[in-house]
């Protein structure tokens, strides 16, 4: 994994509105596209002003040759401003940042995405499609959970990458009713895995905590991508600490991906 | 006009330019390598180091506020021994003068022990006494909120240390000049103004504080007018150099501090927004001096027309 971090003025190539307040930006950057690994993120300065003051972290969602994409939900002022941008606008971006998922594992693959957790997992799915021999028939499952039907994103992307997709919604408007961690539990209970499966998860902390429990219960290793409020995003301010069995670690620099068992939940 | 002279003298320390990076906002410098010319910096101030390591405070530790941010890191650091063994070699690679920031947790005597540990290390260019961190809960009040306590700590360290001593003061006081005078009278070579202002922010939906420790330190452009005012006030009363900081985000904001009486400046929060900003500011100061036909930076220190 390339450890070099770049700061660049990048150009927005396209903007797409996916659902009511979900947006996809395609951004030109050869360097970030060439050096990013699934699970890594970028720090975006949405505007050259003091409000908002700090950059905002967004996961690398997909990469193409010279471009990368971010997928985000409008939740506050910075994401609102970002949603107002148009193709041709410039963004000051730092990345790629952090440590991504470890893809050296063999065996079945289970992706678990909660809410915006789909963002980095699509990149992971597309990377795995390339690295896993298509004839190997290794089972690949993607579980997507969201509050409601309209917020279930990226189903086609996972399918295109050879994943069997299952969905859950909190309100039952699509797929299984309940949390995606419940869906995972059901899958683990009912599926026979010939090899040794691995879980890769991204989503809100309570969901990841549940997954950590299931990982322990079923003896299946899980890698989880954590979120924490970030100021610098490069490991300098110590604002994003997470307690692990090896002491406090920085989500932005030592993570955002951690082994589930390593985190003190 | 030939290149203006940006060098400054602080105690025994001569800096090639007056722009440092503030304690706690620059990690151990390596985090910024590749993003900024580290060797171009006037000096690098380390994260504050305590005698024993500290794990830091519970999360969340940071949040954004209008034109600023709150932080309650809680002086997370590995402790002096590990710092010297593991972090100092990393800092050295920056090839900029190293200023080590230190603080006590319970007993002010810890400052003396820490200063003693650093005394032997040649390339520690100066020591910054952080008597003003608002995020350590074992302290009821800050040393820098009491002129007498400030005097005692600085004097005790002065006795054992031949290094350049910089005392970092808190803005959470009624009269900063009294504390600055106490530091000067006890033998401090310079003062750093200001540490963060105590602040608080609430998530009204959840009715919860946005920072786990409830109160936290405010930094960024929001505090700049207060910082500039305090530098100006201190400049009227003390003779030792002032290192100004608080909300510097560009050359113009840095220049405000020089005109108010600072001999040097430190960039804090702005490092998070633009990692190369300290370099940009150095160039901006140089251009300003050229444009205004000023040959030495020191000629504009306190040169406010008032
Ligand atoms: C490593 C990492 C990767 C991320 N990837 C994505 C992504 O791919 N897509 C996406 O939509 N979002 C992602 N996020 C979350 C995103 O950074 C926040 O939604 C964004 O910073 C909010 O900014 P804002 O100014 O719009 O909201 P604000 O006004 O700052 O906050 C609005 C609300 O969101 C909460 N919030 C803000 N920042 C965070 C955070 N870092 N973690 C959790 N809650 C937060 C606030 O507490 C508040 O309740 C990621 C976060 C991290 C740390
Ligand atoms: C995240 C963060 C951590 C800090 N940690 C320290 C510290 O360890 N010691 C210290 O003396 N000051 C610390 N400070 C204060 C800064 O050094 C500086 O005095 C203050 O932030 C004002 O400058 P600014 O507005 O440019 O950030 C910290 C500030 C921030 C934002
Ligand atoms: S956000 Fe600053 S250390 Fe992680």
User: What residues contact residue A175 under an 8 Å CB cut-off, 6+ apart?
Assistant: A152, A166, A167, A168, A169, A183
Q: A121 vs chain B: nearest CA distance in angstroms?
A: 25
Spell out where A29-122 has E strands. 41-45, 56-59, 62-63, 67-73, 90-97, 109-114
The atom of ligand 3 lying closest to the CA of A240 is 4
Minimum CA–CA partner of A232 in chain B: B272
Minimum CA–CA partner of B68 in chain A: A53
Q: How far is the CA of A36 from the centre of ligand 3 (A)?
A: 19
Flag if B60 and A229 touch (Cβ within 8 Å): yes
A247: chain B residues, CB-CB within 8 Å: 55
Residue range B28-55: mean pLDDT, rounded: 95
A53: chain B residues, CB-CB within 8 Å: 64, 67-69, 220-221, 269, 273
Closest ligand, as measured to the CA of B131? 2
Residue A134's pLDDT is 66
Residue B25's pLDDT is 98
Asked whether B22 lines ligand 2 (CB < 6 A), one says yes
Parallel, antiparallel, or unpaired: how do β-strands B164-168 and B124-130 relate?
parallel
B22: chain A residues, CB-CB within 8 Å: none
Residue A197's pLDDT is 93
B133 is catalytic: yes
Please give the Cα distance from A16 to A73 (Å, whole number): 12
Domains, chain B, in order of start with CATH, read 8-56+73-198+219-300 (3.20.20.70)
What is the tens place of the pLDDT at every residue in A144-180?
999 999 999 999 999 999 999 999 999 999 999 999 9
Domains in chain A: boundaries: 6-97, 109-262
DSSP-derived secondary structure letter, B85:
I
Please give the Cα distance from B273 to A200 (Å, whole number): 31
Which of B54, B80, B191, B217 to mutate to test ligand 2, by most ligand atoms within 8 A of the CB atom? B217
B64 in contact with A, Cβ within 8 Å: yes
Q: How far is the CA of B4 from the centre of ligand 2 (A)?
A: 30
A3: chain B residues, CB-CB within 8 Å: none
Q: Are B77 and B49 in contact (CB under 8 A)?
A: yes
Q: Are B136 and B170 in contact (CB under 8 A)?
A: no
Please give the Cα distance from A163 to A141 (Å, whole number): 5
Closest to B28 (Cα-Cα) out of B105, B85, B109: B85
Q: How far is the CA of B176 from the centre of ligand 2 (A)?
A: 18
Please give the Cα distance from B189 to B166 (Å, whole number): 6
DSSP assignment of B37-48: -GGGSSEEEPPP
Minimum CA–CA partner of B55 in chain A: A248
Asked whether A230 lines ligand 3 (CB < 6 A), one says yes
Flag if B55 and A247 touch (Cβ within 8 Å): yes
Asked whether B25 lines ligand 2 (CB < 6 A), one says yes
The topology (CATH level 3) of A109-262 is Rossmann fold (3.40.50)
Average pLDDT, chain B: 95
Which of A44, A56, A97, A252 to mutate to test ligand 1, by most ligand atoms within 8 A of the CB atom? A56
Q: Are A205 and A263 in contact (CB under 8 A)?
A: no
Q: A49 vs chain B: nearest CA distance in angstroms?
A: 9
Residue B140's pLDDT is 72
Of A44-53, B31-40, B134-143, least confident by mean pLDDT is B134-143
Residue B150's pLDDT is 95
Q: How far is the CA of A258 from the centre of ligand 3 (A)?
A: 16
Q: How far is the CA of A54 from the centre of ligand 1 (A)?
A: 12
* pLDDT value at B138 more than 70: no
B274 in contact with A, Cβ within 8 Å: yes
Minimum CA–CA partner of B273 in chain A: A54
3-class secondary structure, A251: coil
What is the tens place of the pLDDT at every residue in A234-264?
999 999 999 999 989 999 999 999 999 999 9
pTM, rounded to two decimals: 0.95
Which of 3.30.70.20, 2.40.50.140, 3.30.9.10, 2.40.30.10 would CATH assign to domain A6-97? 2.40.30.10
Which of B219, B230, B278 to mutate to test ligand 2, by most ligand atoms within 8 A of the CB atom? B219
Residue B49's pLDDT is 97
- For residue B158 the two structure tokens come to 């002065």
Size (chain A), residues: 265
- Of the candidates B31, B34, B272, which has its C-beta nearest A4's C-beta? B34
Asked whether A237 lines ligand 3 (CB < 6 A), one says yes
pLDDT < 70 regions, chain A? 1-2, 132-135
Residue B187's pLDDT is 97
Residue B301's pLDDT is 98
Closest to B169 (Cα-Cα) out of B119, B86, B252, B240: B240
The atom of ligand 2 lying closest to the CA of B45 is 17
């Amino acid at each position: 994994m390339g450890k070099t971090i770049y700061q660049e003025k990048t150009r927005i190539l396209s903007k797409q509105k996916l659902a009511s307040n979900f947006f996809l930006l395609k951004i030109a950057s050869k360097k970030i596209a060439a050096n990013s690994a699934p699970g890594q993120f970028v720090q975006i300065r949405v505007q050259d002003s003091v409000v908002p003051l700090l950059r905002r972290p967004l996961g690398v969602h997909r990469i193409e040759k010279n471009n990368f994409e971010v997928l985000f939900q409008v939740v506050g002022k910075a994401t609102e401003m970002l949603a107002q941008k148009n193709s041709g606008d410039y963004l000051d971006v730092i990345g790629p940042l952090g440590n991504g998922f470890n893809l050296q594992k063999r065996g079945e693959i289970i992706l678990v995405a909660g809410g915006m957790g789909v963002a980095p997992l699509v990149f992971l799915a597309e990377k795995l499609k390339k690295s896993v021999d298509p004839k190997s028939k290794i089972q690949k499952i993607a579980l997507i959970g969201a509050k409601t039907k309209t917020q279930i994103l990226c189903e086609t992307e996972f399918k295109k990458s050879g994943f069997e997709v299952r969905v859950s919604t909190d309100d039952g408007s699509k797929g299984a009713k309940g949390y995606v961690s419940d869906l995972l539990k059901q899958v683990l209970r009912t599926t026979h895995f010939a090899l040794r499966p691995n879980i890769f998860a991204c989503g809100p902390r309570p969901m990841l905590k549940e997954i950590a429990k299931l990982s322990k219960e079923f003896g299946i290793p899980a890698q989880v991508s954590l979120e924490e409020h970030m100021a610098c995003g490069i490991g300098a301010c110590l604002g994003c600490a997470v307690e692990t069995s090896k002491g406090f670690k920085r989500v932005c620099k030592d993570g955002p991906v951690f082994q589930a068992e390593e985190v003190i939940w | 006009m030939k290149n203006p002279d940006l060098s400054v003298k602080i105690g025994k320390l001569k800096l090639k330019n007056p722009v440092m990076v503030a304690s706690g906002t620059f990690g151990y410098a390596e985090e910024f390598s590749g993003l900024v010319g580290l060797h171009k910096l006037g000096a690098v101030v380390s994260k504050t180091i305590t005698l024993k390591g500290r794990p830091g405070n519970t999360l969340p530790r940071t949040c954004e506020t209008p034109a600023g941010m709150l932080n309650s890191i809680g002086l997370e650091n590995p402790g002096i021994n590990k710092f010297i063994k593991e972090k100092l070699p990393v800092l050295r690679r920056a090839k900029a003068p190293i200023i080590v920031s230190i603080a006590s947790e319970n007993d002010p005597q810890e400052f003396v022990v820490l200063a003693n540990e650093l005394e032997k290390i040649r390339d520690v260019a100066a020591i910054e006494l952080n008597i003003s961190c608002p995020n350590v809960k074992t302290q009821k009040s800050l040393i820098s909120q009491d002129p007498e306590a400030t005097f005692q700590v600085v004097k005790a360290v002065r006795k054992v240390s031949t290094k350049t001593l910089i005392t970092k003061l808190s803005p959470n006081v009624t009269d900063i000049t009294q504390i600055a005078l106490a530091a000067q009278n006890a033998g401090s070579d310079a003062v750093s103004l200001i540490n963060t202002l105590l602040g608080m922010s609430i998530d009204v939906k959840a009715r919860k504080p946005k920072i786990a420790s409830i109160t936290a330190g405010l930094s960024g452009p929001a505090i700049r007018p207060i910082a500039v005012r305090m530098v100006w006030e201190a400049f009227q009363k003390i003779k030792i150099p002032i290192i100004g900081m608080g909300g510097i985000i560009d050359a113009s904001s840095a220049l405000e501090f020089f005109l108010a009486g600072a001999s040097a400046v430190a960039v804090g929060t702005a490092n998070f927004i633009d990692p190369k900003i300290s370099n940009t500011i150095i160039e901006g100061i140089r251009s300003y001096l050229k444009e205004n036909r000023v040959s030495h930076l020191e000629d504009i220190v306190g040169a406010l027309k008032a």
